[in-house]
Amino acid sequence: MYLYKTTILKDTSEYMMSQIEKDQHASDRVDFETNYKSLIIEISDIIILETTLLMSKTYTQFKQLINGSITWNNVQVISVENRYIFYIISEISL
């Protein structure tokens, strides 16, 4: 199994990062909340098996995985505290 993951921070004020990174998280959050939030599956937890390969992606790279065979309806999101954590589970490498 393959598990693709990305994270968007809802509020970057508590994190030490460049202004460019803060702006990117803000832009990604607005894009997700405006265009895709209503299409996703919200979950409370995810269990990762030992045989699962975890692939971390940027939000931009993650969006590129959503291409027809994978849709936003296949995306699972955990909304915790100050971040969205996105997952796509696939039996094949994307």
49 — pLDDT class (breaks 50, 70, 90): confident
Give the mean pLDDT of 66-79: 92
21 — pLDDT class (breaks 50, 70, 90): very high
3's tokens: 């598990």
73's tokens: 């309806």
Burial (0-12, 13-18, 19+ Cβ within 10 Å), 90: middle
Positive or negative: CA dihedral 63, 66, 94, 48: positive
- pLDDT at position 48, please? 85
CA distances from 17 to 23, 59, 64 (A): 10, 17, 25
0.75 exceeded by pTM: yes
Rounded distance, CA 38 to CA 32, Å?
A: 9
